[in-house]
Amino acid sequence: MNKYFTFLIITIFSINSSFSQEDFTKYIDPTIGNVAPFLVPTYPTMHLPNQMIRMFPIKKDYISDQVDAFPFQVTAHRAPGILPMKIAAGIVNDASWNKKMTIDHDLEVIHPWFYSTYLIDDDISVSFTPGEKCAIYKIDFPKNVQKNLLIKGSENIVFSKGKNYFNVTEVVSKKTGGTNPVTNSMSVFLYGEITDSTNNPINEFEFTSNKQKITFSANANAPSTILIKYAISYVSLEQAKLNFEKELRTQSFDELSKAGKTLWENVINQIQVEGGTESQKRTFYTSLYRTYERMVNINEGGKYYSGYDQKVHTSNRPFYVDDWIWDTYRAQHPLRTILDPDMEDDILNSYTLMYEQSGWMPTFPQVFGNHLCMNSYHSSAIFIDGYRKGLKNYNVQKAYEGIKKNLIAGTFIPWRQGNPRLPIDDIYHKNGYFPALKIDEKETEPNVDSFEKRQPVAVSLGITYDFWALAELSKELGKKNDYALFAPKAKNYKTLWHPEKRLFMPKDANGDWVMIDPKNGGGKGFREYYDENNGWTYAWDVQHDIVGLTELLGGKKGAEMRLDQLFRESLDMGKSDFYINGSNSTGLVGQFSMGNEPSFHIPYLYNYFGAPWKTQKRTRFLLDVWFKDNVFGIPGDEDGGGMTAFVVFTAMGLYPVTPGEPYYNITSPLFERTTINLKNGKTFAILAKGASKTKKYIQKAFINNTEIDAPFITHAQIMAGGELRLELSELPNKEWGKNAKIPN
């Protein structure tokens, strides 16, 4: 028995043994946020925590009452499912392949471990339940009708059928963005069986295969209830069958669903809350569920396919893929260092292996390989954050090598990460900033994407943070020469500080200011100078040196007043005009954008400026206004746990402003008691008696009955177990934490 399996047994036993009061999975509602205020919604995804199989019905959007198809697998977050299946009764003709399946929203049942809907035109019920590498569709047809399953594939689909089984091989492709795009392709293998409700093969089904279409049809005498039991593999058809035998051979639909429910109980009930409203609990636990969609473990019984060298590797350790590090380094990875540090250690190991296999430390690692997306190289952040929290069970030196290569030998052009350094990058290395074009100047660098542009301020600030992370890791590893080389680069953000504007502004290659409108300059997404957010958001994008930023703003009082202004600053234009360029800047409060990741840490900066009561006021307001328990309940792109991890942390009264520094900010929690059952067998509780909408201001704080006068708590204090007790009142205590020092 390997150590990971042993650990899983111990963990499940210890968690289950401690939960006798309430099952908080009842508060999960995957439809929360399914209608986006402007951009991409959440998806009602069925899956097990951090596991490979994922499914959500293919539809135009939540509002639509018609399903296009039910997929067999979703290979990457937010990607359309593959092998889409239509279900039809009666005679099949060409029109059947384009016919949509009409549903009634009120008849849908959606849980992470179980889904069902009713196809109202054909009187068919469809249910689904996921395993790790397998799943079951249960379909209830009306009696005395022909039963049909219509499956589409790509032009590369290969189908075969035996006596009681069928195989499908499908090729999934993803094209990278930009000039000279590269198409990464990989095969997905499916082994399936069609049975009745008692697990007996249904021999009445016949199949036809025509190019990209596969038809299963059974006559009216076939059982009304059928099960499509299948397993997926990225390794081989043989492995798909092994996955089937391991997970599904003896499992009924109800047994698989029940087992999935138990696995969700283990992770969701790890955090128990008391107090708060039903609505707050629904938002909190649904947010927690969202953080478990990614990353996903694609190790299949000791083997995994790597899209980073297109080879199958042997390993008994999990191999995790599907991450968008620009989004998730901020809160989702730090949350995992508390809830499941061993998993985060395995994730750091996976990133390191991807570097070894591909030659670059990935930024958006997908199952098919690294996806070139967004800007900067923020994988640096999760390594320094994990290392300082004791996560070192991987080749640390190799990881350091990869982080260093990204920043020294890689280009900083957005959506080009993992390509060699170019002359344009030398300007950053020499002068400390990435150069902008002059107003109306034509692009001179052919590798810059025509839509994504240069994003020079965003790139400069992001890369500066990455160099800070690299420098700090070099210090931890005793690499004195590297530290001396890289530490000064952590101050490079100052090169773009405009003292009159009190914002970070772009400079051209000659070092001259490019005097744009920082509220609305830069075209779509402000990408000619910033990225998805304007200059008012990026004014605070110095997570690693808040003391230095405070000095630029004229000291604590000046910084506090400037932060007040952010939340009150007007658009100075109509919303329709603003959203032509600022479509990503949703969830606005003044110029603050709750709906985009670079804003997450900003409300917590009051803790550093001597006004923690304002952090308490702002975070409560933001949760209450922008995160509701309905289909409109997410203010921006949720990004597979990137945004909802902010909700989980903030609702508990904590937040990691600087990933890489092993401490958390304290704010006013939503609940009277939040208990985290740590994997080391200890518990950490956050107590806030009487917490409510109005009673939110911290008067005093105690860690294990020792009073503290600072809105900070270290990672070590949490992991040691104990409690953080907060005394709350309806009126702020403006002295508490006023002169707090940041933990060393």
Q: Please, are residues 23 and 261 in contact by the beta-carbon 8 Å criterion?
A: no
pLDDT in tens, 493-516: 999 999 999 999 999 999 999 999
546-558: average pLDDT? 98
Instruction: For residue 143, count other CB atoms closer than 10 A to its CB.
Output: 9
The yes-or-no verdict on residue 597 having pLDDT over 60 is yes
For the sheet containing 85-89, what is the strand order? Answer: 85-89, 147-152, 213-218, 206-210
Query: With 90 as the cut, is the pLDDT of residue 556 above it?
Result: yes
Q: Judging by beta carbons within 10 Å of its beta carbon (0-12, 13-18, 19+), is residue 315 exposed, middle or buried?
A: middle
Q: Residue 225: what are its φ and ψ, rounded to 5°?
A: -100, 125
The yes-or-no verdict on residue 167 having pLDDT over 90 is yes
State the pLDDT at residue 172: 86
Q: What is the mean pLDDT of residues 649-677?
A: 98
pLDDT digits (tens, 9 = 90+) for 219-231: 999 999 999 999 9
d(CA 107, CA 125): 10
The pLDDT of residue 13 is 39
pLDDT digits (tens, 9 = 90+) for 17-38: 444 579 999 999 999 999 998 8
Q: Is the pLDDT of residue 9 over 70?
A: no
R_g of the chain computed on alpha carbons? 26
Summarize pLDDT for 399-411 with one digit per residue, the tens: 999 999 999 999 9
For residue 179, what pLDDT is reported?
Answer: 56
Q: Using pLDDT thresholds of 50, 70 and 90, give the confidence band for residue 266.
A: very high
The reported pTM is 0.96
- DSSP-derived secondary structure for 348-413: HHHHHHHHHHHSS--SSEETTEE---SSS-THHHHHHHHHHTT---S-HHHHHHHHHHHHHHB--S
**For the ranges 204-213, 375-384, 541-550, 551-560, which has the lowest average pLDDT?**
204-213
Residue 525 Ramachandran class (φ > 0 left, ψ -120 to 50 alpha, else beta): left
Could you tell me the pLDDT band of residue 1, with boundaries at 50, 70 and 90?
A: very low
Backbone angles phi, psi at 400, to 5 degrees: -60, -40
- Lowest average pLDDT, out of 63-77, 173-187, 245-259, 341-355, goes to 173-187
The tokens describing 117, both together, are: 């809907």
Q: Are 525 and 584 in contact (CB under 8 A)?
A: yes
pLDDT for residue 357? 98
Neighbours of 680 (CB within 10 A): 12
For residues 286 and 28, the answer to whether their CB atoms sit within 8 Å is: yes
Query: Does the pLDDT of residue 4 top 70, yes or no?
Result: no
